[in-house]
Amino acid sequence: MNEIVRHIEYLLVAHDCVVIPGLGAVLAHAMPARCDEAATNILPPRRTFSFNPSLVHNDGLIVASVARSRSVSYDAARAIVAAGVESMRRALETDGSVSLGLAGRLAMTPEHTLTFEPASDTSRLSPAYMWLPALELHTVASLARRRDAALADVRPAPHFLTKIARAAASLVLLIALGLALTTPINIEQAQYASLGLESFAATAPASGADVAGSSLIRRPGELTSPVTLCLGIHDDASEIADTAAHAAYKRERSASVSAVVQPRLDLTDKYCLVIASLATEAEAQKFIDQSKINNSGILAKDGRYRVYVATGATSAEARAAAAAFADRYPDAWVCRK
């Protein structure tokens, strides 16, 4: 076989166009899956090949392949390719045709034009498709007839074999059921998944602890450990809060709320706690109405109308009343009348 033909086969595996310098180009075309003419089989995707005698310009693809194969220079490889193409021309003139390997056969007509006949099996040049089989199509009626015929060929088993099979199946079922019922399961170490609380338990309070009216909650698997309230479960950790500490926090919170200075409103005080500063008195009154403030006043000063909700004889007294309004008006400030 001509050496150039082997390089053409090798290059067609990865390329859709291989130019034979001065002779033409072998082109690959992808064909999708399709039905055959009788519509009884689905043929897989494949590649077909054609020949274009107009593409004769040397693109260097075959030359580079020869240079890599022989480990020679580009000029030496070009000379080898030219000699191989000349050998193919002589074969076309003398024999009338020349083989292009797995791609097909090139022939010369009496009119000295080149024709190409692709090979019947080109799957080896398309490894991505060569493993895909054709699928045979069957009608539903034919499948039903085949199933009925298969069922008709089935012979019933002897009566004593049927009894033995049933007894064996019953014995296997009893053994499996016995293993399942006798296998011990540690309930305390089991994992639970629910939207509620798993269990509740009350223990004797420590000396001096105030647990009146509290409900203690334990997690699964904890029998004698300190009682905790689980607030959130994560993949790598748990956030927990001790119930005694939580009760202490509630008492401290209640004490801090009761310690908040109740605001007073005395027109004789020199300082006031301002929660808003507006351009007109009407805007200030509208702000009071919308905020639904029970006790408030309007201070006109420096061209502004300031809404205040508490007063004090000193600046510290007015500032102390800010805690009562911290949630609604965190930016409240003290102003001297």
pLDDT tens-place string over residues 146-175: 888 887 766 555 566 667 777 788 877 878
Helix ranges, 96-225 (H): 140-153, 159-182
Indicate the SS3 state at residue 207: coil
Nearest alpha-carbon partner for 80 in 97, 68, 92: 68
Rounded to whole angstroms, the maximal C-alpha distance in the chain is 128
| Domains of the chain, earliest start first | 3-125 (no CATH), 198-203+213-240 (no CATH), 271-336 (3.30.70)
Q: Tell me which of 259 and 145 has the higher pLDDT.
A: 145
Torsion sign across C-alpha atoms 289, 293, 299, 305: negative
Residue 200 to residue 202: CA distance in whole angstroms: 7
**Whether residue 198 has pLDDT greater than 60:** no
**CA gap 314, 196 in Å, rounded:** 53
Band (pLDDT 50/70/90 cuts) for residue 200 is very low
Distance from C-alpha of 136 to C-alpha of 36, rounded to nearest angstrom: 10
Residues 6+ apart with CB under 8 A from 12: 18, 26, 28, 49, 102, 103, 125
- Cα within 13 Å of Cα(327), Cβ side: 3
pTM over 0.85: no
Confidence of residue 221 (pLDDT cuts 50, 70, 90): very low
Contact 285, 300 (CB under 8 A): no
Query: Across all residues in the chain, what is the average pLDDT?
Result: 78
Whether the pLDDT of residue 233 is over 80: the answer is no
Residue 59: pLDDT over 60 = yes
Look at residues 290, 300, 328, 296 and name the one whose alpha carbon lies nearest to residue 311.
296
- What pLDDT is stored for residue 135 in this prediction? 86
Reported as type and span, the H/E element at residue 93 is helix 74-95
